[in-house]
Each structure stands twice: as C-alpha cells, then as structure tokens.
Amino acid sequence: MSSDAGETWVEVQRFQTRGETEQHALVLVAAGIDCRIARRQGGVGLLVAASNEAPARQELAAYARDNRSSTPPALPLRPLTEGLVGTLVYICVLLFIHGAVARHAFSRDWLSAGEAVAGLITGGEWWRALTALGLHADYGHLFSNIVAGGFLGIILAQMLGGGLAWLAILLAGGIGNAANAIIEPPTHTAIGASTAVFGAVGLLVVLMWKYQSSLWRRGPRRWLPLAVGVMLLAFLGIEGERIDVGAHIAGFLAGALIGAGLVAAGAPLATVRGNVQFVLGGAALALFAGAWSIALLGGAP
C-alpha cells in the first residue's frame, strides 16, 4: 500500500471493521491499485489515489457481485414451535386410524378399504395411495413412523412453515405409493406412513442442498446432504420383513421432486406465513380425510 503524501486520496468505501477493510484492500492490491486504510467516524475507510478512484470502484463492485453469486440464498428458519401443531395432528390422526382399524369403527373394514393394492390404484382407486399412509400392521410399525415422521415434520416446518411442510409430505407419500403401484404386480399391497416419511427425507435433502451455508458448498462437504439422505434410506428403508423397498425409494424421489419445485419457487417461500399456512395445512387434512371418506363409502360415485 502506498504512503505517498503528495497524492490526493479519496474514500471509495467504508466498512464496520478493520478486518473487513483489509480484506477489500487486498482485492485492490491484487488488481495493482495502491490503497490506504484510515479510521473514520462510524467505521474504517478504504482510500485510493484520486486517479484510481474509478477502477477501484469497479474492482470492488465486481468483487461484491462475485461474492453474492457464490453465496447460496438463505432460508430463514421459523421457530421450533412452528411445526408442533401439524405434528400433533399427524400423531392424533395415525392413532385414531389405528384404533378404528382394530375396532372396525362405523362397521367398516378399514384395512381392506384403505390399503394400497397396486392393481386397484392403477385401476382408478387413487385414494388408496393416500389412505394406506394411515394404516399400520402393529404398534411397533405405528410408533416408528410417529417418531420419525413427527421429527422430520418439525424440522421441515421450520424451513417451510407447518402447513406447507405437511401438505408436501402428504403429497410425497401419495405420489410415492402411486408410483410404486405402477411398477409392482397388481396383487402387491402396502400400508404405513413410511412412504411419506421417506418423502420427508427427500424434501429435507433437497432443501439442505439448496439452502446450506457457503462453507458447506466447498469441496466434498457439498455432498453431505445427499449422502445423509442415501444413508437414511439405506439404514431405515431397505431391510426387514415388512419393508417395502419400492415404496420407500418412490417416496424419497417424490419428496425430492417436490422439494425441487419448492426451491424453484425461491423467495416466495419466505412469505408463506400466517393464514396461508393455515389454509395449506387445512388442505392437507381435507385431502387425507376426503380420501378416507371415499374409501369408507365404497369408492367414488
């Protein structure tokens, strides 16, 4: 940095800290522009010779543009309590349906009415792709999905808001079951919320990939969200007597696709608040309840 007192020096930018000023001074030095650092009221000034003012400002502006483009957008996290209502509804709905199955509530066979039979889904009974998400073989099956789904629901609600998060999870589960029905034999049956749980994993992976901090975008760390998702899928979803591998993979991929669509929406996600979240959550509950109403009434008219 030059110290020639005969030059006229002008301030091209002012910063809050000396460290930040020195960082930008290095940008100018690398471009061959002499500069000075001077304490100013309310901050630290970066000065250059008057003859270098225009190129210095251009270099600093270019540096600012490059820095912005290399930093991924932030997705403001909502309070932890944002997802509690949706999670409580999720738990109550699964417990209610499990009890209704055991007691043949309303004199209906809930299991045969709602299970995901591949041939029936591809034959037009689309609602089974949704109703099957509420059915479980036993309490172990039920509580594992309550714990995993509730945890993921709370995390996603912090990112998307409770209503949008649970609507996306439900759609991912339904799409996953429908896609699995296409590739499985007509007699294949499936039940359980795990397809939606893995849909939530797919959603989370994509959102983490997009809205991670700039530090995590450098080197191998960039791949961590995808690696975590694949490990969860492998650890929880592809072994065991009652594991439906196809449904889990389909749910994961459906969640990832929905997540990609939400990422494409970009900034509007941050503005989905209050009454809109309530409407989206109500839509998710209405869609699920509507599917069960059709199933219990014997199918669509």
One domain, residues 17 and 103? no
252, 199 contact by CB (below 8 A): yes
CA–CA–CA angle 168, 224, 240 (5° rounding): 65
Are 160 and 233 part of one and the same domain? yes
Among 130, 187, 164, 144, residue whose Cα is nearest residue 273: 164
Both 114 and 176 in one domain: the answer is: yes
Mark whether 116 and 199 lie in a shared domain: yes
Q: Looking at the 3D structure of the chain, how many domains does it have? A: 2
Mean pLDDT across 97-102: 94
Asked if 93 and 38 sit in the same domain, the reply is no
Q: What is the CATH number of the domain that holds 54?
A: 3.30.70.1530
41 and 107 housed in the same domain: no
Residue 1 covered by a domain? no
- Convert the pLDDT of each residue in 224-255 to its tens digit: 555 555 555 555 544 444 567 888 889 999 99
Does residue 132 share a domain with residue 23?
A: no
Helix H or strand E segment including 80:
none
Residues 154 and 66 in one domain: no
Q: Identify whether 217 is part of a domain.
A: yes
Q: Which domain holds residue 162?
A: 80-296
Q: Tell me the pTM.
A: 0.71
- Please check the confidence at residue 294 and state whether its pLDDT lies above 90: yes
Please indicate, yes or no, if residue 55 is contained in any of the structural domains.
yes
- Of 19, 42, 70, the one marking the end of a domain is 70
Burial class (CB in 10 A: 0-12, 13-18, 19+), 188: middle
Element (H, E) at 110: helix 110-114
Mean pLDDT value across the chain = 83
Lowest mean pLDDT among 17-21, 63-67, 109-113, 140-144: 63-67
